[in-house]
Amino acid sequence: MSCNEKIEYYEIINEILKHDEFQKRKSYKHHGDITVYDHSLAVSKVAYAMAKKLKKDYKSAAIGGLLHDFYDKPWQDVIEKKPFLKKHGFVHAKEAKLNANKYFPNLMTPKIDNIIERHMFPLNKIPPKYAESWIVTIADKYVSLEVFLHLTSLPQLLGIRKVKSR
């Protein structure tokens, strides 16, 4: 990103970044050693750059990318047994969309709702509606490839191994 693009990017997302509720994600582990905060910021930056290059709505891509994992608590802390299709990977997008609308109603649009809610395609079965939704979905998969560098975490991600006590 050029200096001007960095300035523009941070102007778009500043309200979210400085919000206390979003700041809590600095303590939520995503996968491996990365936090939800850092993962979301990385997805947002990639989505912004992709959308800008493709001449799409880069503001919605940046905001949707930043809020795509805006769920309530670290998924590793969930101890109750759930059916496979009710596990985090299948349901957190709806929770993130609800939180985004609760904390940032002034930023939300139907497009950003779709970006957040559909970023887990194909797990959520319904494909993204907008080009920007596809961009964030792809950016999320790209940034999340780091999981495959830590193959020991895959059984936990798939729900077939319990989380170790902290």
Q: What is the Cα–Cα distance from 90 to 94, expressed in whole angstroms?
A: 9
pTM summary value? 0.80
Q: What is the CATH number of the domain that holds 84?
A: 1.10.3210.10
SS3 35: strand
- Domain enclosing residue 77, as ranges: 3-157
Tokens of 74: 């670290």
Query: 141 lies in a domain?
Result: yes
Render pLDDT for 60-119 as a digit per residue (tens, 0 to 9): 999 999 999 887 765 555 566 755 455 545 567 888 999 999 999 999 999 999 999 998
Cross-strand pairs, 35: 29
Query: 164 lies in a domain?
Result: no
Total count of domains within the chain: 1
Query: 31 lies in a domain?
Result: yes
Task: Report which DSSP code applies to 29.
Answer: B
Query: 17 lies in a domain?
Result: yes
Query: 22 lies in a domain?
Result: yes
- Compute CA 67 distance to the chain's CA centroid, rounded to the nearest angstrom: 6
Query: 127 lies in a domain?
Result: yes
Task: Enumerate residues 6+ apart whose C-beta is below 8 A from 152.
Answer: none
